[in-house]
Chains A and B, each alone.
Chain A
Amino acid sequence: MVMDITFQNVAYTYQADTPFESQALHDINLTIKSHSFTAIIGHTGSGKSTLVQHLNALLKPTSGQVKIGQRVITPETSNKNLKPLRRKVGMVFQFPENQLFEETVVKDIAFGPMNFGVSAADAQQTALAMLDLVGLPQNLAQRSPFDLSGGQMRRVAIAGVLAMEPEVLILDEPTAGLDPAGRREIMGMVAKLHQQQHLTVVLITHHMEDVANYADCVVVMENGTIAKVGKPSVVFQDVAWLQKQQLGVPETTAFALRLQKHGFKFAQLPLTETELAQALLPQLPQGMVARTHDE
């Protein structure tokens, strides 16, 4: 099913019409394509979390409209009948493990579907299937979620969102606070969900490596506006601009730039170490390179 998401002139103000009002989004126009993998980057406070909370109508625009599949959300949209939308668009908040509360892993994962009216038996079955999907062993099912490692707890929380079988998966800094091993696990899992389950993925991240490795579209937020949007391979070419914004670029891109100053040539700055290694091959003496087909 096509679930394109379109923002049209969306503005959002927190605590509107109070002395504390503050505008977090200004005139956002953006399309997130069905089945795409979109990364959202930008400084803390630039509006990333506010933006994604419009994707399942947790926040409604103060002005403008958001179209999610066939559903149109405007400032006037009533809070009723949002359940189907919330089910289609699953949201993994920051530190989702803080929202775990059931006494067993399987009950926690089953909670969402039951809340949407699925029978206990079916929800339980779905929950067990979700364990596989997020790469957790079945023998954790009856354990308390609070006895697990940080990375495992987070996967339980993500499994709870996946149990509602969403078509769009939003992840707000899903690897924040995890160690690199945990980060690899979670990102590998997200990539697999995108490729195998064909989920539309929207990922908020500060890790440019993750943007380079997984995203097909990147949105750069700045002070509540979209400063740039495009393919990572295009957006990351403008290293000077990104550095001026004090946003990082993938380590490979920065490294390639250093090599460029020493006479190496790149038709386009590479984003991953594999791309860089491939681009370096023809620029190194023949003797250094083993003919790989000999192996």
Chain B
Amino acid sequence: MTALTKIIEVEHLNFRYPQTEGRPALSDVNLAIEQGEWVAIIGHNGSGKSTLAKAIDGLLPLDKDSGTIRVAGITLTEDHVWDIRSKIGMVFQNPDNQFVGATVEDDVAFGLENIGLPRAEMQVRVHKALDRVRMTKFAQREPARLSGGQKQRVAIAGIIALQPQIIILDESTSMLDPNGRIEVLQTVRQLKDQENLTVLSITHDIDEAASANRIIVLDDGEIKESGRPAHIFQYGERLIEMGLDVPYAQRLTAALRRQGVTVPQQYFTEKELVDWLWTLHSKM
């Protein structure tokens, strides 16, 4: 049962937006993601993160020279684009462009109507999805009248309701308040664990990146690095160029050094830093 299945395989992916000069948006991207894995994709603005996500979802015009994309064993071609899209739920940064329903409830139901689900099951799924993003109270509201964070929770409910195998979050928690973000991430994690969902999260949020099994760093359309969060976080200040914040322990050690404190040049987690500090303090 636990045999690893590669659910997303990208080989030698190249992509240039039509009528653009200069660097292509993606150059020779190779990547394999296991089913059930949570992978964070980071990189500065314009590094190609959204382009990669769109390519995987079959949203870009790829040709023979673009390389190969396989999702759940299906090779992406014009004929199979809908098979692939049905396995992927994509949540974008700005939910305003994603609303179609007159009420929150209709909006979440919209995708389900499209796949022809029986009405009774549809209602169950809609309510469950809304409950998971804490929006049940707003079921009858007009989406346009919600504040930004509330809108995004509805958009996420819409894709959760479709029960995809892969969920791609393209900076979709960046508009949420800290609670909303935690709750959405917990929701996604719970779904991931229960249904062996694979999560690809494009993010600038250090906590979201930290909760991934693996972080992939994109830079100017190329994969620069791939590794466990603790490994990637060793970059310290340079994480800013990679589109992430500097972890707090790193910021504090930098501030301590500025005050003249001798701090070892090693990577500290917050807990390790607390331990290091109080061990010193207890020797006074």
Contacts and interface: CB of A to CB of B under 8 A. Distances in A.
- Decide whether A and B are members of one complex: yes
Interface stretch (A117-125, A189-197, A272-280): A272-280
B147 interface: yes
Interface in B35-88: 44-46
A264 B147 contact: no
A45 B240 contact: no
Contacts, number: 125
Contacts of A289: 259-262
Nearest to A50: B147
Nearest to A283: B281
A179 interface: yes
B171 A259 contact: no
B259 A277 contact: yes
In order of increasing CB-CB distance, the 8 nearest A-B pairs are A44-B149, A262-B278, A273-B255, A277-B255, A179-B204, A290-B260, A180-B245, A292-B260
A263 B278 contact: yes
Interface of A: 14, 43-45, 49, 94-95, 149-151, 173, 176-182, 184, 206, 246-248, 251-252, 255, 258-259, 262-264, 273-274, 276-278, 280-281, 283-285, 288-292
Contacts of B150: 44-45
A255 B147 contact: no
Given A49-B147, A180-B204, A180-B244, A264 B174 contact: no
Given A285-B283, A289-B262, 6 more contacts: A180-B245, A274-B259, A277-B258, A283-B281, A285-B284, A290-B260
Given A44-B149, A280-B277, A150 B284 contact: no
Nearest to B145: A14
A278 B251 contact: no
Contacts of B259: 274, 277-278, 280-281, 289, 292
Interface residues of B, number: 45
A255 B253 CA distance: 12
20 contacts: A43-B177, A44-B180, A45-B150, A150-B45, A180-B240, A181-B240, A184-B240, A255-B270, A262-B277, A263-B278, A264-B281, A273-B252, A273-B255, A278-B259, A280-B261, A280-B277, A285-B280, A285-B283, A289-B262, A292-B260
Contacts of A184: 240
A173 B261 CA distance: 36
A24 B175 CA distance: 20
B243 interface: yes
